[in-house]
Amino acid sequence: MIDNELSKLKTKFNENTFKSNPYNDIVGQKFINGVKKSTKKRNFLKKPLPIIAQVGTLVLSFLLLISFISNYTTQIGGVNGSKENEQQLGMEKATPLNLSCQKGDSVSSSIKGRNSKENLAQEITLKSGGTYKVDNKNFKPGFYDIISLEGNAEIASVNLHKGERFLSKQIFKNNSIEVEGNGMLLLCPSEFKKEKMINKVYTLKDKSVSYQAGEEIEPGTYELQVTNEIESSFYVFVDINNYEENSLDAQSFNIRDTGTYTFSIKEEEMLEILNWSDKDTELKIKMKQIDGSEEKGYGES
């Protein structure tokens, strides 16, 4: 190949010119030498890699293949293992808990900030063993739905296991919120969802709630029944209040035994039902409307 290129050069440059002009001799020779060097470089690149380099390349490829197979096996094993654990715990067909904040509906509450548009609350996670200042920066005041993410945590004397909720808890600015137990809580801006009444009965899914009559529930007179599905003592606190100073309509009572308790609540008044039990409970709470007011279909789809 070198000889071919040199022959081409000779045809381009006149031999008499090279002999008669020393400068052209120098330039021409440098050009030819450059062609020889570049040709050698191209030939070198076409040579096969040394045996050591080839072996190194094979070893590296083999190691990468082993790493890929190992990671794939681990992932498959983890999925299969989790499925086996769910089957052992009877959880294979269980509906996953909704442990995230949802956007609430707007309500026309007479209490300042008690609606999704004006509520200042912002999502925050609290861990057991901590005391949190409501500083209006990292922790905003407002109305919160409190969800237990894991373990067993207590807030405002309400004990929550994983998946349990405490609805529409009002938290005030500059207060300090203490979380006890061994768990983690997610505080979300309250949803203010209307409860569904069926045959004049509310069956509460959540055992600690704060409702406003005319919004989440209807005003009226109710029979409240609390039962515990397991053999343990329980303590439920009930409060009806319109938050007016020196109000004669305020009433509260404690429930420690299974039975029926009657109370009345007016439009815009607040109803709080709080599970203050020290021990584990599986409560069922029902509210049956017993006066003559017609069912308005709150919460019906």
Which residues, listed in sequence order, are joined to residue 255 by a DSSP beta bridge?
236
Q: Which two tokens stand for residue 36?
A: 């020889």
Are both 130 and 166 inside the same structural domain?
yes
Q: In this model, does residue 107 exceed pLDDT 90?
A: no
Burial 53-79 (b: 16+ CB within 10 A, else e): eeeeeeeeeeeeeeeeeeeeeeeeeee
Beta strands in the chain (DSSP E): 124-127, 130-133, 142-155, 158-161, 165-171, 176-189, 201-204, 209-212, 220-228, 236-241, 251-255, 259-265, 270-275, 283-289
Are both 205 and 182 inside the same structural domain?
no
Asked whether 99 and 147 are in contact (CB, 8 A), the reply is yes
Are both 209 and 273 inside the same structural domain?
yes
Asked whether 261 and 208 are in contact (CB, 8 A), the reply is no
Are both 237 and 279 inside the same structural domain?
yes
Total of domains in the chain? 3
Are both 157 and 235 inside the same structural domain?
no
* Interval 108-118: pLDDT, tens: 566 888 998 99
User: Domain ends where: 167, 188, 209?
Assistant: 188
Is 245 among the domain residues? yes
Is 300 among the domain residues? no
Are both 266 and 209 inside the same structural domain?
yes
Is 85 among the domain residues? no
The lowest-confidence range among 135-144, 151-160, 214-223, 244-253 is 244-253
Q: Stretch 241-257: mean pLDDT, rounded?
A: 79
Are both 271 and 223 inside the same structural domain?
yes
Q: What is the pLDDT of residue 98?
A: 63
- What is the C-alpha separation between 160 and 179, in angstroms, rounded? 11
Q: In this model, does residue 264 exceed pLDDT 70?
A: yes
Cα torsion through 67, 73, 74, 80, rounded to 10:
170
CATH number of 141's domain: 2.60.120
Are both 209 and 283 inside the same structural domain?
yes
Is 108 among the domain residues? no
Is 55 among the domain residues? no
- What is the C-alpha separation between 11 and 232, in angstroms, rounded? 110
Is 103 among the domain residues? no
Alpha carbon 300 to its chain's center? 28
Are both 206 and 283 inside the same structural domain?
yes
Q: Count other C-beta atoms under 10 Å from residue 49's C-beta.
A: 10
Q: In this model, does residue 26 exceed pLDDT 50?
A: no
Is 71 among the domain residues? no
Q: What is the pLDDT of residue 250?
A: 80
Q: Which amino acid is at 141?
A: P
Is 241 among the domain residues? yes
* Interval 187-225: pLDDT, tens: 999 999 999 999 999 999 999 999 999 999 999 999 999
Q: What is the pLDDT of residue 236?
A: 96
Range of the domain at 11: 2-46
- What is the C-alpha separation between 108 and 252, in angstroms, rounded? 25
Q: In this model, does residue 62 exceed pLDDT 60?
A: yes
Q: What angle do CA 215, 115, 152 make, to 5 degrees?
A: 90
User: Domain ends where: 188, 223, 241?
Assistant: 188
